[in-house]
Amino acid sequence: MPKLIFINPNGDENSIDAENGLSIMEVARDHDLGIEGTCGGSISCCTCHVVIDKDWFPIVGKPNPDEEDMLDLAVGLTDTSRLGCQIEITDKLDGLRICIPEE
Ligand code: FES
């Protein structure tokens, strides 16, 4: 199981064993990490906005055009912002560092 490291706005880290096939939004939501995922993953909200660690961003990859349009509405958008519901967990993401923005 890949391990994901979620970093709270206050700097606290939570290391979580995540199941392959789930999305980052689902894992964060199920562990009460401050990610709501209001629309359930249909790219119609920004409540799953996360900031990917710079070193990891090339591995995670860029948002697709629909996701980019929605991200434009996110508070605190950064160069490595993604919608958590659009990132599927796989073994290659083992050790991924994800910042949860303050919102
Ligand atoms: S949960 Fe709404 S866009 Fe990700």
pLDDT in tens, 70-99: 999 999 999 999 999 999 999 999 999 999
pLDDT of amino acid 102: 86
Is ligand 1 within 6 A of the CB of residue 50? no
User: What are the chain's domains?
Assistant: 3-99 (3.10.20.30)
What global pTM score does this model have?
0.96
Ranges assigned E (strand) in the chain: 3-7, 13-17, 49-52, 81-83, 97-99
pLDDT above 80: residue 50: yes
Q: How far is the CA of 18 from the centre of ligand 1 (A)?
A: 18
Which class for 98: exposed (0-12), middle (13-18), buried (19 or more C-beta within 10 A)?
buried
The predicted pLDDT at position 30 comes to: 97
Looking at the CA of residue 86, tell me the nearest atom of ligand 1.
4
Share of the chain above pLDDT 70, in %: 99
The SS3 assignment for 83 reads strand
Give yes or no for residue 10 having a pLDDT over 80: yes
Ligand 1 near 45 CB (within 6 A): yes
64, 83, 103, best to mutate for ligand 1 pocket (most atoms within 8 Å of CB): 83
Q: Token pair for residue 101?
A: 């923005």
Read off the tokens for 29.
């939501």
Q: Is the CB of 33 under 6 A from ligand 1?
A: no
* 24-44 mean pLDDT: 97
**What pLDDT was estimated at residue 71?**
97
pLDDT for the residue 91: 98
